[in-house]
Amino acid sequence: MIKPLLDLKGEALKEYVALNILPQVEKPLRYQGEELNAIHKDWDKSGLHLAFAFPDIYEIGMSHLGLNILYQQANSHPDYLMERVFAPWDDMEELLREEGIPLFSLESYRPLKDFHGIGITLQYEMCYTNIINMLDLAHIPPKRKDRTEDDPLIFMGGPCAYTPEPLADFADFFIIGEGEEVNMEIYALWLENLKQNGGKLNRKQFLEDLVEIEGVYIPEFYEAAYHEDGRLASFEPIHPKAPKVIKKRMLKSMEGAFFPTKPIVPYLEVVHDRAVLEVLRGCTRGCRFCQAGVLYRPVREKSVQELVEQALAIIKNTGYDDVSLSSLSTSDHTCAYQLLTALLEELEKRNVSVSLPSLRVDNFSVNLAQQVQKLKRSSITFAPEAGTQRLRDVINKGVTEKNLVDVSYRIFENGWSKMKLYFMLGLPTETDEDLAGIANLGYTVLSIGDEVRESQKNFLKPPQINISVSCFVPKPFSAFQFEPQVPMDELRRRQKYLRGLIKNKRIDFNYHDPEVSYLEAIFAKGDRRLGEVLYKAWELGCKMDGWSEFFDFDAWMEAFEDCGIDPEFYAYRKIDYDELLPWDHLDCGVRKSFLIREHKKAMEAKVTPDCRFGVCSGCGICPDREVKLDLRGGKPGDM
């Protein structure tokens, strides 16, 4: 039985929740707010009220740099108010539903329905059902067609907004690309519309104006038609002002770009409980499985001086004792060594450490790691991704066995005892020989560790290798977008085969069931018809699909069946180069012809060098979008 809606908001709701609800949930701090540097604005003095919704739990969302950037940026403007909301864990959800309390924002404890807009960040496919669930919890109809002029506008951005079609039924508009510039343009237009209409949005007029902003995709302005075999036949604008192709937005330079030096400091320990400094954006290493490496081109670095200033400001404003240097590939910053030296000089005397998230397999990266981990030598992680040179050439991962051998010696000689190695299973052209290569690499690295330990008279801890193998998901906007995913049964056979090859107790072998990867593949390549499946899955109880305790594969398959949609069509089909794709109307700056060329080269196991080393690989973004690589030093890896 559902109680009638509890009509409380603001301080009254906050008190009610603190006394009656929070004592009953496992982690009350997820819903409390009042963290240091959280921004509490005057509701009545702000003309535009926005909620930033993160469709996963607090600890995940608060670890997300993008949230802090966009939240602080919006709130830096006197007329805009932005508050946060996260997906509640099921203990909280149950209480909210029981008591009839609509989902509220953390800052002012207002129901989401009170806001003009709800911005949702799309970080991964497995959070889509949480979006529907959050809207439902907020008493907002999840489907656009069921909403009225009194409901907030629902807009979405983030990496998965490049493949938005499965969410087209739910969003009013999508923002394609980097948000820093375009968001502020959108908010200005929004506020103007509100002002002209006495505080109530004229939605029709707003969308008519909004469509002119580059980077905005309004799904209701387009119509899709399909061939009998299920492939997309056409995707056309049905509004005279809607562009045929929507270009992504990006910053031309990171220099002076808005960066939050006063981020929120959670009370609760979150996943990344430290200061995060974005040192560069983009990566041109050109790994053929990598979507982000295409979406965030070109490479734009921040200057050492700006980074040091920002790091110091963040420490001063937060009190964190660790700064993480974040990017797709931090050791590739052309001034990485200078940056680290300058940062450590300032931070060590403040007892602040620096951490590097992931490292390339080369000596330069090990030098950097050595610099930052002077005392703690716990474990170090590398991602060779594939087990043989042939397959690493196919995926254009510029790592050789010699690199890994050299690096392993350096690692163990310098006191690390634990090494983690990440690989992907089910890459295009993969054979059992490539799987054996993964096991062999594990053994090679372990024997290097033993050799080093012996030469140092067993002073060190015995080496330990951890091999983690994920299931490959072919992603749109990568060279492998044309590839089918390896079917689940075959992935399981390969996992078992590899498992059988690793028999040393000091090599730990981790892998996951391929069911989640299968769904990721389906939704990554999905079209509009999947909106029905999403909604059905949610009706069948799917939510928090990224959490193994909630993930219910059978319910998902039931949803596909109920909707009469074949999931294998999306995940297991080889795509022709000339096929019209459900993301072809979105232009990430890199040409499809480049992806086709890269795919052909992959099949011939031919590598393409990183354009930062001199030869342009012809992805098209620099001439087409009048941008260029923005590097601060010579080449990546220079000292």
Partner 1 sequence: MICRVKFGESMAGKFLSHLDMLRAWQRAIVRSGLNLAYSQGFNKHPKLSFSSALAVGLTSSGEYVDIELNEELPAQEIAERLKKHLPPALELYALKIVDDKTPPVMSIIQRAEYRVSVKLAQSVPLAEIEKTIDELLASPRLEVERRKKNSREKKLVDIRPGIYQITAEYQDELLIIKLFLQNNSDGNVKPDETVGLIIKNYPGAEISQIHRQELYTIKDGQLLSPMEV
Given the rule CB under 8 A, which residues bind partner 1?
Answer: 18-19, 22-23, 28-29, 32, 34-36, 265, 267-269, 273, 315-321, 350-351, 375-376
Residue with smaller CB distance to partner 1, 31 or 259: 31
CA 583/CA 524 separation, integer angstroms: 10
| Residue among 149 and 459 whose Cβ is closer to partner 1 | 459
The distance of closest approach from Cβ of residue 305 to partner 1 in the complex, given in angstroms and rounded to an integer, is 22
Complete DSSP assignment for 337-361: HHHHHHHHHHHHTTT-EEE-S-B-S
Is 542 within 8 Å of 206 (Cβ atoms)? no
User: Residue 23 Cβ, how far from partner 1 at the closest point, in Å?
Assistant: 6
CB of 154 to partner 1, least distance (A): 31
CB atoms inside a 10 Å sphere around CB 25: 19
- Compute the least distance from the CB of residue 22 to partner 1, in Å: 6
Q: What gap in Å lies between CA 406 and CA 586, rounded to an integer? A: 42
Residues in Cβ contact with 187 at an 8 Å cutoff, skipping those fewer than 6 apart: 48, 50, 74, 77, 80
Does the N-terminal peptide bond of residue 102 adopt cis geometry, omega within 30 degrees of 0?
A: no
CB of 246 to partner 1, least distance (A): 42
Nearest distance, CB of residue 36 and partner 1, angstroms: 4
Between 318 and 408, name the residue whose CB sits nearer to partner 1. Answer: 318
Phi, psi of 310 (to 5 degrees): -65, -40
- The CB-of-270 to partner 1 minimum distance in angstroms stands at 11
If the CB atoms of residues 318 and 327 are measured against partner 1, the closer one turns out to be: 318
CB 3 within 8 A of CB 99: yes
Q: How does DSSP classify residue 630? A: B
The distance of closest approach from Cβ of residue 348 to partner 1 in the complex, given in angstroms and rounded to an integer, is 11
Q: Which is nearer to partner 1, 250 or 314 (CB)?
A: 314
Q: How many C-beta neighbours within 10 Å does residue 476 have? A: 23
Give the nearest distance from C-beta 373 to partner 1 in angstroms: 12
44 or 269: CB nearest partner 1: 269
**51/314 with CB nearer partner 1:** 314
Q: How far is the CB of 100 from partner 1 (least distance, A)?
A: 21
HSE-up of residue 232 (Cα within 13 Å, Cβ side): 22
Query: What is the closest distance, in whole angstroms, from the C-beta atom of residue 99 to partner 1 in the complex?
Result: 17
Report the alpha-carbon distance of residue 419 to residue 406 in Å, rounded: 14
Kindly report the three-state secondary structure assignment for every residue of 489-557: HHHHHHHHHHHHHCCCCCEEEEECCCHHHHHHHHHHCCCCCHHHHHHHHHHCCCCCCCCCCCCCHHHHH
Tell me the backbone φ, ψ of residue 464, rounded to 5 degrees. -135, 130
CA dihedral of 516, 519, 523, 529, whole degrees rounded to 10: -150
Instruction: Using the minimum distance from each CB to partner 1, give the nearer residue, 33 or 437.
Output: 33
Q: Select from 62, 201, 124, 16 the least CA-distant residue to 521.
A: 124
Enclosing H/E stretch for 256: none
Output the CA–CA distances (angstroms, integers) from residue 525 to 102, 156, 387, 474, 583, in the order listed: 33, 18, 27, 8, 8
- Closest to partner 1 by CB, 36 vs 271, is 36
Cβ distance to partner 1 smaller for residue 65 or 265: 265
User: Residue 439's CB: how many other CB atoms inside 10 A?
Assistant: 21
Q: Pick the closer one to partner 1 by CB: 18 or 557.
A: 18
* Distances from the Cα of 83 to the Cα of 187, 292, 606, angstroms: 14, 28, 49
